[in-house]
Amino acid sequence: MPKRLSFKMGLRGQLVLLFLLVSLIPLLIVAFLAREFGVRALEKTIGENLERLAQEKLDNADNNISTPLNALREEINGVRDTVVAASIRPNDTASQRRLTNILKRLENLAGPRSEIIITNSQGQVIQASNSRIHRRKIDAVWWDRAYNEGIGHEYVDDIQYDDDMKIHVLPVTFPIFTAAGTKVVGIMRAIITLPNLSDAVRATQGQEGMGQGLEAVLMTAHGRVITSSAKNKYAFEEHIEMTDAAMEAINSAKTDDQSAAFSGYERESGIEIQVDKRVYGWARTQQWRGEPWKANQNFTDWTVLVSQPESVAFSEINLLTEKILTFTLISCVIVIPIAWLVSRRIVKPIMHIARASRAIGQGDFNHEVPVTSNNEVGVLAQEFNSMRDDLKDAIELITKEEKKMTAIVNSLAEGLVLVDGNYRVLHINPAAEHLLNVGADQVGEELTLIVQDITLARALKESEGQISLNETVNLEVTLDQRGETSTLRIVASPFLDEAGAVLGTVYVFDDITREKEIDQMKSDFVSLVSHELRTPMTSIIGFVSLILDGKTGPINDKQRRSLVRVQHQAERLAALINDLLDISRIEAGRIQMKQEEISVSEIAEQRIEEISPQADAKSIELRLFASESLPHTIGDQERIGQVFTNLIGNAIKFTPESGKIAVRISANGTLSGKSDKALHIEVIDTGEGIPIEERERVFNRFHQLGNINTRQEGGSGLGLSIVKSIVESHGGRVWVDDGYEGRGSNFQFTLPIELKKDVGA
């Protein structure tokens, strides 16, 4: 990827630039406003002058056509008698002489190199500029139209351009009537030359005090060029380049209102052969009244388009702008050294502060900034020196506290490892180095990579997911190091920033190998004692039952009451022994949980039916609420039933009379740290409830609540521990919350919805 270009400017450069901007921007704004207002003021005047010039050129072009046309038309009456005489006596010398004189006069009126043809009423040429057609009969459209079967019709062609003579020509045809004007006695054909037509347009260069660069185009109502200035180089009847000004001029020529001349002006980009913007002015001819024979020709509705470059039209404004810009450049030359000196005076103390800051960043707090002024920069230097002293004291205090904290952490008996958000080691104390068999030189590496034991590394890796969710993780891992087996308890707690994001994790490693051995010894002792006590306790209960049944002889009421107490306490002791045997077997892994398809709702219904007499004895409402079509799961039916019995039995035991107990089963639960669906079971009562601080410990062995009511109810303190062991053996979890409306308890546990492929095989 290409390196991104960047431009860095120091404070001194920024100040110089600021001085330049402050001093130059007003001048630039003045230059801009002077040009804009000047252009607007001159635009109308220049446009109106161009419009007037276009009107003058249009009038000249109009006169170039109308003058010879009107002159020839006036000569027709003078030709009549001579044409009649020449038609009657073709060979009459006097008539021919008069026709020759008339022909010369007509040629003078029609222009240099013009052509004149005069015929009689039969179409025979009686006089012509071209002697080769003398006495010939004319067979042409123009003669037929002008004769018009004796009625007569003045006929004018479109203006044409003669490439040989390099001049515009206008063919016209006039009928010659009798004195009474009722009969056509002859036809006069004239090819009028218009040399001044092009000159009128080409002569605009530099005239009328309009300056240089003027261009003009004479065109028809359809945008076809009649003639133009030399620079435009348009050919005759070539379409003009359709600029906005040309389109405006053409559209004004096509308006239905023929009563007046139309004119206007506009500024826009030049035509294709020009690169400068130009100012345009145009004028359009009005209809020639009283001369219908001139209608609908290419010289009616003419438009003259005159333009001048903006650079010429607004040269004075441009000159003023250039002078202002020149003054601006001179100002730059003056302002830059002044700005440089002023900025140097401002920046110098700031550079002292920057060097002092750099020294502080490198740990040197002895660099003092000199105070050279009493202005804001001097105040800044004083405050910086004060801040340096405070920071020096704070750093010394933090260093002392850091050393103290490091000493405390390093003296901990438990191993402690601090990692960052990428699980790279930030600190490791000696106890952790010993437990994990790693060195202090491995700080900065990823924790799971430096741990040598594969089991421990895998456990740490699996815990990262829960830590990223801001959860505390508790693990127990068995290690095989140095040929010895040891057990580590690991507590991983994330530490967060103010926004709640995980910055890193604190791992605490505790060697609980000795505790595990002691627990194992306790479990073995409990199991041994329980087995040894179970047989005599069974005998005691049996013999007491025989005595109570009277099989050993009659007993009095006082003896019966005493024996009933003995039997009750013996049964409690037998239940305690059974619980001890169960918990020791479960923890030792000697009880294998069955893997069979079970219906949790059916198990709950069965256990509720068995235990309902106890609820009825206390008038407790015991109900089951199970969702329809609950999925089956895999587990041990007897052990899951034992969970229901223990939880419901505890609820009955600690719920006062006329209370309520509800068992709810649904399929909307989740497993801890997973998104897998699970069965969610709740046992809710209206009893005394469990304080929040006791809820984590109620599942410990032999733990009982300290209030009087729970002590009176008795119990071994192993029921909930057995529940927790069975649920966790099935892959679920168990916890307790508040019951109905904040009263009572709500024991909840989840079981995974998971069916093996070989179920039912």
Same domain, 575 and 465: no
Band of the pLDDT at 663, cuts 50, 70, 90?
very high
Same domain, 181 and 223: yes
* 337/333 Cα distance (integer angstroms): 7
Q: Which two tokens stand for residue 365?
A: 């707090």
Residue (of 641, 573, 579, 653) closest to 610 by Cα position:
641
For the chain, the C-alpha Rg in angstroms (whole number) is: 60
**Is the pLDDT assigned to residue 231 strictly greater than 80?**
no
Question: Which of the listed residues 249, 280, 313 is the one where a domain comes to its end?
Answer: 313
Per the structure, the count of domains in the chain is: 4
Q: DSSP characters for 220-265?
A: -TTSBEEEE-TTT-PPTTPBPP--HHHHHHHHHHT-S--SS-EEEE
Q: Which helix (H) or strand (E) holds 313?
A: helix 310-313
Instruction: Give the pLDDT confidence of 367-409 residue by residue, as tens digits.
Output: 777 777 777 777 777 887 888 888 888 888 888 888 888 788 7
Between 712 and 241, name the one with better pLDDT.
241
Same domain, 745 and 618: yes
DSSP-assigned beta bridge partners for residue 494 = 505
CA distance readout (Å), 416 to 5, 171, 451, 504: 47, 116, 14, 13
Question: Which of the listed residues 525, 555, 586 is the one where a domain comes to its end?
Answer: 586
SS3 string, 148-210, reads HHHCCCCEECCCEEECCCCEEEEEEEEEEECCCCCCEEEEEEEEEEEHHHHHHHHCCCCCCCC
Question: Which of the listed residues 586, 609, 635 is the one where a domain comes to its end?
Answer: 586
Residue 36 covered by a domain: no
* 174/156 Cα distance (integer angstroms): 9
* 652/660 Cα distance (integer angstroms): 9
CA distance readout (Å), 225 to 242, 298, 302: 12, 10, 10
Q: What is the CATH number of the domain that holds 524?
A: 1.10.287.130
How many Cα atoms occupy the beta-carbon half-sphere of 353 within 13 Å? 18
Highest mean pLDDT among 6-10, 197-201, 314-318, 423-427: 423-427
**Is the pLDDT assigned to residue 348 strictly greater than 50?**
yes
Instruction: Give the pLDDT confidence of 46-84 residue by residue, as tens digits.
Output: 777 877 888 888 888 888 888 888 888 888 877 888 888
Q: What is the sign of the dihedral through the CA atoms of 523, 525, 529 and 532?
A: positive
pLDDT given at position 85: 81
Residue 334 covered by a domain: no
Q: What is the CATH number of the domain that holds 156?
A: 3.30.450.20
Instruction: Give the pLDDT confidence of 294-309 residue by residue, as tens digits.
Output: 555 666 677 888 877 7
Same domain, 736 and 598: yes
Residue (of 126, 31, 40) closest to 82 by Cα position:
126
Same domain, 301 and 228: yes
The residue segments making up the domain with residue 429 are 412-511
Residue 687 covered by a domain: yes
Same domain, 537 and 563: yes
Give percent above pLDDT 70 in the chain: 81
Same domain, 419 and 502: yes
* 527/394 Cα distance (integer angstroms): 61
pLDDT given at position 757: 39
Residue 377 covered by a domain: no
Residue 570 covered by a domain: yes
* 162/753 Cα distance (integer angstroms): 105
Instruction: Give the pLDDT confidence of 566-577 residue by residue, as tens digits.
Output: 877 777 677 667
- Give the type of residue at 128: A
Same domain, 498 and 527: no
Instruction: Give the pLDDT confidence of 682-728 residue by residue, as tens digits.
Output: 999 988 888 887 877 787 766 666 554 544 455 556 778 888 888 88
Same domain, 199 and 109: yes
Q: Which two tokens stand for residue 299?
A: 């010289």
Strands (E), 385-461: 415-420, 425-428
Grouping H, G, I as helix, E, B as strand and the rest as coil, residue 495 is strand
Residue 366 covered by a domain: no
pLDDT given at position 664: 92
Q: What is the CATH number of the domain that holds 644?
A: 3.30.565.10
Same domain, 505 and 521: no
pTM, to two decimals: 0.41
Residue (of 290, 220, 298, 302) closest to 73 by Cα position:
290
CA dihedral 492, 497, 502, 505 (to 10 degrees): -30
* 103/86 Cα distance (integer angstroms): 13
pLDDT given at position 209: 44
Query: Do the strands 596-598 and 633-635 form a parallel or antiparallel pair, or are they unpaired?
Result: antiparallel
Residue (of 516, 515, 433, 445) closest to 481 by Cα position:
433
Query: CB count, 10 Å around CB of 479?
Result: 21
Residue 31 covered by a domain: no
Position of tokens 């002015």?
281
Same domain, 633 and 605: yes
Same domain, 538 and 658: no
Residue 21 covered by a domain: no
pLDDT given at position 27: 72
Q: DSSP characters for 664-689?
A: EEEEEEE-TT---EEEEEEEEE-SS-
